[in-house]
Chains A and B, each alone.
Chain A
């Protein structure tokens, strides 16, 4: 059987030039861009670690950087880094499971509000709580100790945050809500029939919790734990605030110290240490992926389950109190401290005649602050938007197409997971310094923007691919069959359906940029400071009261965006 086909029809049906060559060209461009953001700083890290002079200067290549690493001090820093992160991850995990269970599976009153309160510390920049706790838990003049002495009449010290315990506590304030966010969803997304059939098989409530509920959540829990552990090792704020003054060293503060606190910045050693920590992170992430391979019991089916709720009786007021106490310690107390110290001449001396608005005036008139405020907002908006666009495209290509090159794109976009901000900062420092002068990135906001996009891309890819995964392939194909082209389908169906996730992701990235300190501290120059950098500088310059004011401004921004985000989430739940 032969079919006669008019020639004109055939020609019209052939892919046009743009369709045929546009896609490979676009993919190549994307790979180049991602490579510049992720692979390039990594390669430059290796280059810099072997290079005997600071970035941009002629020098020779040797292994001195790595040779210098082998000191007792660095070994101590490594042990500190691992031990601190391990301890805080274990404690945070236990606390997060408890809180998540209370919120998701008990009849504790006001659970919706409690959930918003418990997760709030995750969105507060660590530098803000660090300054607050440095004032709350100072051994001599910390507010907690002052109150303690006033209450008991003793002259003892209740807490001293400038200690191992202080570092752990400060890191926990961030990582507990972080793990909570993972675990509470796992608690909620579970099909109740899985637990019911356990009860029907004769298991007690307690047995069911451990063998079924906890067992099903194990992959999520393990993954949250490992991620938190890795993030803990990358943490900079807690150690620089509470460790450095009393000589407790970790890897990030060691790198920081080598570059910024020496008469002669030792870039080579710092870079070598950065590359070594990169290798360490790589090993940890390999372990993580091995541990988690094939263990994601997808209990999430997109169905809205009504999980079974445990009736606690009078105990529900105890669980209520636990949640409130967590919020009080991680948010109310630090914010109260910032308010308090912003209104007194010197923090620690709270007498009525010391009340003043001077710090507000100082900050208002501080040009450095306004510059940083503007930079942070600009970088936040542009950075979050650019990162979400990039992440959205990467996620689409890697999860919903079979195009060539998508594996490479996936890997490139994932690389920043294993780069601590500080390490990426050094990598870009080298990378920007050796670019030709016609490409002036170093010393401009571009440097910070590129670093933020690189750091945010893995998060953006995760959020958007999660959103795409919820949209059945049918929904997209149905649009194609009924006459919509690829771009029309992307806009009218995929983005239209996934935009709440995009909005949520955008706000997450924005928070990430606002909070970012460790890369910024290496990449800023006097004109491109951001708020977190200014806070650290003013803190070290002995102006904790002014820092409190800036902290409150940041907090106001956090609350506004968090409120907007919560509204988006609500909207999403009601439409999907």
Chain B
């Protein structure tokens, strides 16, 4: 049985649909991330699961219990949903010690003192903060506050853990470290986690599945790799990195495994690409090619069969440390290419660009 189920959940502000009929099922122990640009409705969705906002349409079920049903005017207040949550600001109560902060979910539910002590210390041990138990909360660094917030969210052993951009206030190095630590902890405890972020790399590194949201709608739900390599739409594709989009016409189509291989012609090139569904010859498609999947060859290097190939000129190059970003002009269009930083490319050089069929993904226009 899924741990959290959203069915037709929406939130409207007048004519504006902040969240528009979202369907979602989070499996037990799953790490699911809501990903999207700011204002896409991901935080509102999370807050509706938390009960901090009322959904105007649909039902929300947590752990087999309906906590919100707009049609039946049913709404369980947040304190009776048995959840744990980490806020973007951590929301560490400044007038309490670390211990009291973590003990709060148990204290307000009137658990016995001795039990509170053991469970709080256990939770603090999980995040390696047991030495700080008696510290006043304001005397903590950002990373430490983050750990305390996680301990507080876990201490009650909630059915679901909600996290609202918990890493966005940390610096880059700490962000990566805390993210990994948290992922390891989540796997160990096998706790269902609903995570909100606008950072695509964070989402891909942490999640079992990603929900890409835009303008209040869930555009695609799937494993990070699937969403990245096989996006359902141009919007989803454009959300990760700076892919190239090539308009092309289908000349042939055949099934291969679960997929289809299309022969296409467009932008001065001919070759194959993959697609999620069958296309008729003559149909127009947009082919997405990730910048790092474009292979850079010497001028006039011959292309293998099925490969898409262009000859072009390097017009811009940016050194980024581990890699190099190039802009190549070919057939009157600009292609983004990511290559190893060791690959020397001077502006003005003529190069050949080749793309394997497995790295070209067709989308409907």
Interface residues of A (CB under 8 A from B): 1, 3, 5-6, 9-10, 13-15, 472, 474-475, 477-486, 488-489, 492-493, 496-497, 575-576
Contacts and interface: CB of A to CB of B under 8 A. Distances in A.
13 contacts: A3-B5, A3-B66, A6-B65, A10-B74, A472-B91, A474-B91, A477-B87, A479-B93, A480-B77, A481-B52, A482-B104, A483-B108, A497-B95
Interface string B1-42: 000010100000000000000010100000000000000000
Contact of B105 (A483, A486, A575): A483
B310 interface: no
A478 B25 CA distance: 24
Contacts of A10: 66, 72, 74
B230 to A, nearest CB: 24
Query: How extensive is the interface on chain B, given as a class?
Result: 35 or more
A474 B94 contact: no
A3 B59 contact: yes
B7 A3 contact: yes
Interface string B28-68: 00000000000000000000001110000001010011110
A481 B83 contact: yes
Contacts of A575: 94-95, 136, 138
A480 B95 contact: no
B284 to A, nearest CB: 34
A19 to B, nearest CB: 8
B251 interface: no
B180 interface: no
Given A13-B67, A482-B85, 20 more contacts: A1-B5, A3-B5, A3-B59, A3-B61, A3-B66, A13-B74, A13-B76, A477-B50, A478-B91, A478-B93, A480-B79, A481-B52, A482-B83, A482-B105, A484-B104, A488-B79, A488-B108, A493-B93, A496-B95, A575-B138
Contacts of A493: 93
Contact of B50 (A481, A484, A489): A481
Contacts of A492: 104, 108
B233 interface: no
B79 A13 contact: no
Given A9-B65, A480-B79, A497 B23 contact: no
A263 to B, nearest CB: 61
A6 B87 CA distance: 31
Contacts of B136: 575
Contacts of A497: 93-95
A480 B82 contact: no
B152 interface: yes
A1 B9 CA distance: 13
A322 B363 CA distance: 78
Contacts of B88: 474
Contacts of A489: 79
A477 B43 CA distance: 14
Contacts of A477: 50, 52, 78, 87, 91
Contact of A475 (B81, B84, B93, B108): B93
Contacts of A478: 85, 87, 91, 93
The 4 closest A-B pairs by CB, nearest first: A478-B91, A474-B91, A482-B105, A484-B108
B61 A480 contact: no
Contacts, number: 105
Contacts of A5: 61, 64-66
B75 interface: yes
Contacts of B156: 482-483
Residue in B64, B88, B136 with the greatest tally of chain A CB atoms within 10 Å: B64
B66 to A, nearest CB: 4
B89 interface: yes
Contacts of A3: 5, 7, 59, 61, 66
B320 interface: no
A488 B107 CA distance: 11
Contact of A13 (B80, B83, B94): B80
Nearest to A576: B94
B248 interface: no
Contacts of A474: 87-89, 91
Nearest to A488: B108
A482 B65 CA distance: 18
A489 B107 CA distance: 12
B78 A480 contact: yes
A573 to B, nearest CB: 12
A360 to B, nearest CB: 46
Nearest to B61: A3
A488 B106 CA distance: 13
Given A3-B5, A477-B87, A492-B108, A14 B94 contact: no
B109 interface: yes
Nearest to A497: B95
B78 A481 contact: yes
Contacts of B109: 483
B218 to A, nearest CB: 14
B212 interface: no
Nearest to B153: A482
Nearest to B89: A474
B162 interface: yes
Contacts of A483: 79-80, 82, 105, 108-109, 156
Contact of B79 (A15, A472, A485): A485
A485 B104 CA distance: 12
A496 B152 CA distance: 19
A472 B93 CA distance: 10
B162 A481 contact: yes
Contacts of B64: 5-6
Given A1-B23, A474-B87, A14 B93 contact: no
Contact of A481 (B25, B66, B79): B79
